[in-house]
Structure 1
Amino acid sequence: MSAETPQRAVSNGAPDNEEDTFEKDLNEMLQDAPSLNDSCSTVQSGSPRKIATAAAAPPTTFNSNPADSSHTRPYTGPPEQEATPSEKSKKTSNSNGMTRTISSKLYPTGCFSLAATSNIPLSSPQSNGDFVPKGSVTQTAVSKIDTIRSWSLNTYKCTRQLLSEKFGKGSRTVDLELETQIEALRETQRKYCNILRLARSLTNHFYYVVQTQKALGESFSELAAKSPDLQEEFTYNSETQRTLSRNGEVLLGAMNFFTSSVNTLCNKTMEDTLLTIKQYENARLEYDAYRNDLEFAQMGPRDSNSIPKVEDAKTKFEEHKQKYESLRADVAIKLNFLEENKVKVMHKQLLLFHNAVSAYFSGNETALDATLKQFNIKLKTANSSKPSWIEQ
């Protein structure tokens, strides 16, 4: 916005007097205006109080319109731009009756009243500027702390009980009948694992025997074709080795079925029962630890401070007692089921192993095939690979 040109209302006077009066009025108006250096220094120094004072100070005007007398305004543009100038008007008259209206516009370059506005509250009345976490986060943190605290106390009590039992200073709960069955199961598992290891070793060695018999039969067959003088002898031996290798593959199928069943019994069925036994032993250790705590609390004096501790110890003792008795019943049931299952499985597998080995070494091919049919064993032939996409 450019400055307005001074207008003359009446032009009937001497030119020199008019110019002198104009310069005099202009100097008086500039003297009445606020100092630009003070405003600029206020903005540069960054004093909020001075900025607010400079922004609120009304401009000096003579017969001016209030709507046009704004000295400063909020500005958010770049510093290179200029603020809206403040306008000042002054009406003068000279001795000749001439009247002038002078309008001046001030451009305080670089002097701005900075105002930052935002509709986002920096703090709520409830938080007073402090960070307030959500209720769910707080509850989760508290629950985790409680869980860690409970686990630490339980671990400490169980470790103390275990060490006292090892050094013979603490008492432990013993179920003689159940402990005997558990020890017998562990001994049975060790023996069955040994049988499994030997059966696998026999199966691996016999596999190489069968492969050797097959290769030997092929060699005899080739020599029978190339040796006319020994053709009959080579042919007999070739057929014998082929028969042995064919029956050996049948026996290998029976032996693989035997080792697979024993492996399931040892490493799955028995292991599942032993896992329950391990849980039972941990529950027994916790039960004894809290039982000793309850006995120690009951031995102390009865007062207002000890009664709540005794009640708390009694509650935890009852909780672990119920857990211990429940797992003890589970172990007893699983031991009975395991014994019945073991008898059924091993009766079938031992009969299979005996019949297959006897039929093979006696040369009874018919009995060997009947044994596999009796136990529903299907052999995997050498060409029994995955069917092609055409056959599918």
Structure 2
Amino acid sequence: MIRTQFKTVYPFEVSGNQLRMLQADIEAIEAKDIFAPDKTISVATDINDKTNSSNLPNICKTNNSPQSPTNNLPKIGSLNIQRADLDKVQEKIKVIKKWTVNTFKNTKQNVLEHLGKVEKTIDIETEGQIEGLKELHKRYNTLLATAVTFQNHFTVLNKANRDLAEGFYQIGLKETELTNECNDNHEILKTVSQNGELFEKEINKFIDAMETLCDKTMQDTFITIQMYSTTRLEYDVAKCELNDLKDSNKATNASIEEAEEKVREYKNKYEGMINDVRTKISLLKENRLKVMKNHMHAFQQAFRAYSKSNMITVNCHTSTSNSQSFLEH
């Protein structure tokens, strides 16, 4: 379902004169032929050519025969420019001109939409899916940031376990009466640290999967969404131009038919992009759920193994000594 709506975002007003100036700029850019030769330069060139040709010796005139390789080459100063190269430059300049005009029109349309001056085409279902995906992307980024924070803290904790285990071992070498207790604590913390290293690897795998999902897989879909937004904007520009032609007294039937054909062309592109966006979002959902289920299951198994191994280690090294200190008598 496609509908249009007015959306007012900014409270300030744009005068009619300013809008007419923008329209005049567009028409001036479109109407100007940047490749038309300058008449004054052409006349001066013709006079110089006639004067120079009358003063040239006969040997120079023979060089201007059709067999001369430089006969048909346009000259700028002392340089000979190939016609093919000149055509390539002109084509590139035409492309830049077309891109500039289209960008100017799209920017103007975008501003007018924010001001609520023109109608904006909206596909409700597609826009709803896009907004839902944007919100989901924010939450996945939050989860990724939290996972990175957890990894950093866990790495520090695991290093502290190793250092503490080494500290108990050093005390046990000096305090012979505490050797057994220190060795138990040393073994417990050492084993916990080793288990933590295995769990760290699973955390890194989970973070790598999240980064791929957020920064590559989902970003590819957002690129398609951006193309969809640009196509929608171009479609609305074509519709506005058609409406302006119909309201104009100077419009001809040929120009109106051309504008209508342009609207149909952009409408087909817009509807095609709607299908592309929906397909991309559907495929992204399927891939996202599959990847997240696998990595979350692996994360859960790794955490369970880490906790279980630590519990077994603690139970195996629990002190069974029941002797009391002389202070407890």
Normalising by structure 1, we get a TM-score of 0.58
Aligned pairs for 1:136-175 (under 5 A) are 136-175=84-123
Counterpart in the other structure of 2:187: 239
The match for 2:15 is none
Root-mean-square deviation (CA, aligned residues, Å) is 2.6
> Aligned pair in 2 of structure 1 residues 311, 236: CA closer, same or farther (>3 Å)?
same
1:352 to 265, 280, 298: 298
Alignment of 1:200 onto 2:200: no
C-alpha distance in structure 2 between counterparts of 1:362 and 1:122, whole Å: 100
Residue of structure 1 in register with 2:10 after alignment? none
Give the equivalent residue in structure 2 for 1:307: 253
- Residues in 1 aligned to 2:122 and 2:246: alpha-carbon distance in whole angstroms: 23
Please say if residues 196 and 306 of structure 2, whose CA atoms lie closer than 8 Å, have aligned partners that are also in contact.
Answer: yes
What residue in structure 2 maps to residue 210 of structure 1? 158
Rounded to whole Å, the distance in 2 between the matches of 1:364 and 1:118 is: 105
Unaligned 5+ segments in structure 1 are 1-116, 367-392
- Deviation of 1:235 (Å): 0.4
Deviation at 1:364, TM superposition (A): 5.7
* Post-superposition offset of 1:247: 0.6
Superposed CA deviations along residues 88-120 of structure 1, whole A, max 9, x for unmatched, are xxxxxxxxxxxxxxxxxxxxxxxxxxxxx9977
Evaluate the alpha carbon distance shift between residue 300 and residue 194 of structure 1 in structure 2; reply closer, same or farther with a 3 A threshold.
same
User: Does residue 321 of the first structure (1) align with residue 267 of the second (2)?
Assistant: yes
Q: Output the CA distance in 2 between the equivalents of 1:189 and 1:277.
A: 14
Q: Structure 1 residues 210, 310: CA separation in 2 closer, same or farther (over 3 Å shift)? A: same
Q: Which residue of 2 aligns with 1:124?
A: 64
CA distance in 2, matches of 1:276, 1:299: 35
Query: Relative to structure 1, is the Cα distance of residues 250 and 119 closer, same or farther in structure 2, using a 3 angstrom cutoff?
Result: farther
SS at match of 1:230: helix
Cα separation, 1, equivalents of 2:58 and 2:94: 43
2:226 alignment counterpart = 278
Task: Report whether the alignment pairs 1:340 with 2:286.
Answer: yes
Q: Counterpart amino acid of 1:176? A: I
Please give the TM-score of this superposition, normalised by the length of structure 2: 0.69
Q: Which amino acid aligns with 1:353?
A: F
Alpha-carbon distance in structure 1 between the residues aligned to 2:72 and 2:283? 67
Do the aligned residues in 1 keep the contact of 2:195 with 2:310 (CA within 8 Å)?
A: no
Residue in 2 aligned with 1:378?
A: none
* CA separation of 1:342 and 1:177: change in aligned 2, threshold 3 A: same
CA separation of 1:354 and 1:326: change in aligned 2, threshold 3 A: same
Please say if residues 123 and 129 of structure 1, whose CA atoms lie closer than 8 Å, have aligned partners that are also in contact.
no
Larger Rg: 1
Contact 1:214 1:242 in 2 (8 A): yes
Match among 202, 222, 225 for residue 254 of structure 1: 202
**Is the partner of 1:165 in helix, strand or coil?**
helix
Deviation at 1:362, TM superposition (A): 3.9
1:268 aligns with 2:216: yes
% same residue: 33
The alpha carbon displacement at 1:123 in A equals 6.2
- In the other structure, the counterpart of 1:372 is none
